[in-house]
Amino acid sequence: MREFHWHVVARFLVTAFLALIAFLASFLGYLVSPWKLVGVCGVILVYNSLIFLTPWHVARPRPATLLSLVLDLLALTAYLHYSGDIENPLFLAYSLPVVAGAVILSRRSGFLLAGFAALLFITLILMTYLDSFPVQIDHHHLKLVGDLNLHDQIDPDNNTQGWNYILAHLLILMAVLFGSAHGFGRISERLREKEQELRHENERLLVLLSILPEGVVLLAQDGTILQANPAARQLMNGSGTGSIRSIDPALGVTDRFTRLASLSEEFEGIYRDRHLEHALARRSLNGPVVWVFRDTTDQRRLMGQVMHRSKMIDLGFLAAGIAHEIGNPLSSMSAVLQVMELQRPTPEISERLQSLNSHVERIGRIVQDITGFARPSPNRNSSSDARSLVEKSLQIFRFHDKAKELTLDQQVPAEPVVVNVIEDQIVQVLLNLLLNAADACNGRGTVRITVASKDGAVRIGIADNGMGIPESALTRLFTPFFTTKDQGKGVGLGLFISESIARAHDGRIEVQSTQGKGSQFTLCLPAGTRGD
């Protein structure tokens, strides 16, 4: 279609040129009247306009192009007839439609047009010879040679050697026509083959880029987005054009691109709660830049789960060893202490025995907490009301000494909040969080319990107005045996166990704390449905 439009415009220009030549020849006296030639030019303008304006050329551009070239050959034959017939040197213009057909359509079309042009020129020769198609005007082009009577030398009626001139012109014309059809047709075919190969290569690259999960963006030196695959456009709110400077600055790419001084640079960032890895690369310092990024959030989460499970396996082996090595001696020590207490010792010895017994019980609790992970829970998930889980944990917590002087503030919805969990384990998590909140308040203060459901997640929050947690300790809260409590008041397993239970339920525990103002621990669980 593009070539067809180009050829239509070219035909308008050539027609205007031919008409100008006719008027100029008439002005200089080489032509008696230009109007017959101008009439031929008018016919060319008419059929050129009709072919261009009719919708046929849009539906079938190749037949329309071939028809227009055939009409060009007929119009050129008429123009030659009225401007010198076979003696006119413009007969070589027959090659123009032939070249156009070979280039725009095909080499075969070029050969067909070449044969048709040769046939038209032979028709001119025969009609002139038979005087059935006589020259209607003076051979104005011969006047260019002055008094030299060239016409008498080449006219077969006046000179038998005139046929040599005519046959030589015919052979030259056919050589030019078929040579042009072959040469330009072959070049055009090679160009079309290369164009097809490039198109297929481009399609393969586009398919490859479209299925890549990584975002790929090609940037000009000034930051203009030249190309972006679907993954990149999704991150850029569907835009694959514009400038990198119009992208959300929170991505952190604009500053990196502006300061890029080397051939490549890699960096990481967090955008909309997603962890992204970026790379900027270019072949030369003055060349375009390729920006590649990928979302590693799920991979990091999976790696965290793998590491967590690895820790759990190691803890299971550790628990088995501890239970074997410490459990039996502890039982013996506890039995001996009980026997000694039955013998009615003195108050001083009795106090020491009670102290020893409390330490033995503490060691036993540590062993019990650790070995709890070595035994998989026999329970299965069931639909539960988050409000009921909170109430069960509070019923146990209220009997604890740490809760006697605390104020409990409950903010729960009126409608059931369904979660699909193992009830005992979630109650254990909530109880651990409540005990930690009581410790943070030193037994005096307010603990607020909230339950909310939003966007497919249930959030159970436990907040206190205690001492808060140092910022340096926030990243280590869920590490085994790490605690912020005073020595002897905690072993650092409560939050680790609670977070492990939350993960096993496809949930998590979030922490917000301000030192001196208090902390809030939020247990996040997937929302369930009745009947799960």
Q: Which residue has the tokens 């991979």?
A: 299
Using alpha carbons, list the distances in angstroms from residue 155 to 3, 128, 146, 164: 42, 10, 18, 10
- Domain ranges in the chain are 2-196, 213-295, 300-371, 382-526
Q: How far apart are CA 153 and CA 148, in angstroms?
A: 10
Distance CA 515, CA 159 (A): 120
| Beta carbons within 8 Å of 524's beta carbon, 6+ residues apart | 457, 458, 459, 502, 507, 508, 509, 510
Q: Are 176 and 168 in contact (CB under 8 A)?
A: no
Q: Which residue has the tokens 């339950």?
A: 451
Span 3-26, mean pLDDT? 81
* CA distance linking residue 461 with residue 413, whole number of Å: 13
| Number of C-beta neighbours around residue 191 at 10 A | 11
For residue 450, what are the contacts with CB-CB under 8 A and spacing of at least 6?
Answer: 411, 412, 459, 460, 461, 463
Q: Please check whether the two domains, 213-295 and 382-526, share a CATH topology.
A: no
CATH architecture of 213-295: 2-Layer Sandwich (3.30)
Which of 400, 403, 525, 404 lies closest to 457, judged by CA? Answer: 525
Q: How many CA atoms are closer than 13 Å to the CA of 359, on its beta-carbon side? A: 7
Helices (H), 60-161: 61-81, 95-104, 107-129, 150-154
Entry pTM? 0.46
What is the C-alpha to C-alpha distance for residues 506 and 521, in angstroms, rounded to an integer? 17
**Separation of alpha carbons 150 and 142, rounded Å:** 7
Over residues 35-64, the pLDDT tens digits come to 888 888 899 888 888 877 877 666 777 888
C-alpha dist (Å) from residue 80 to 77, 141, 170, 397: 5, 11, 14, 112
Residue 144: band (very low, low, confident or very high) from pLDDT cuts 50, 70, 90 = very low
Range with the poorest average pLDDT among 67-71, 78-82, 450-454, 517-521: 78-82
Please determine, for residue 322, whether its predicted confidence score (pLDDT) is greater than 70.
no
382-526: CATH architecture: 2-Layer Sandwich (3.30)
> What is the token pair recorded at 440?
């943070």
Mean pLDDT highest for which of 123-132, 346-355, 415-424? 415-424
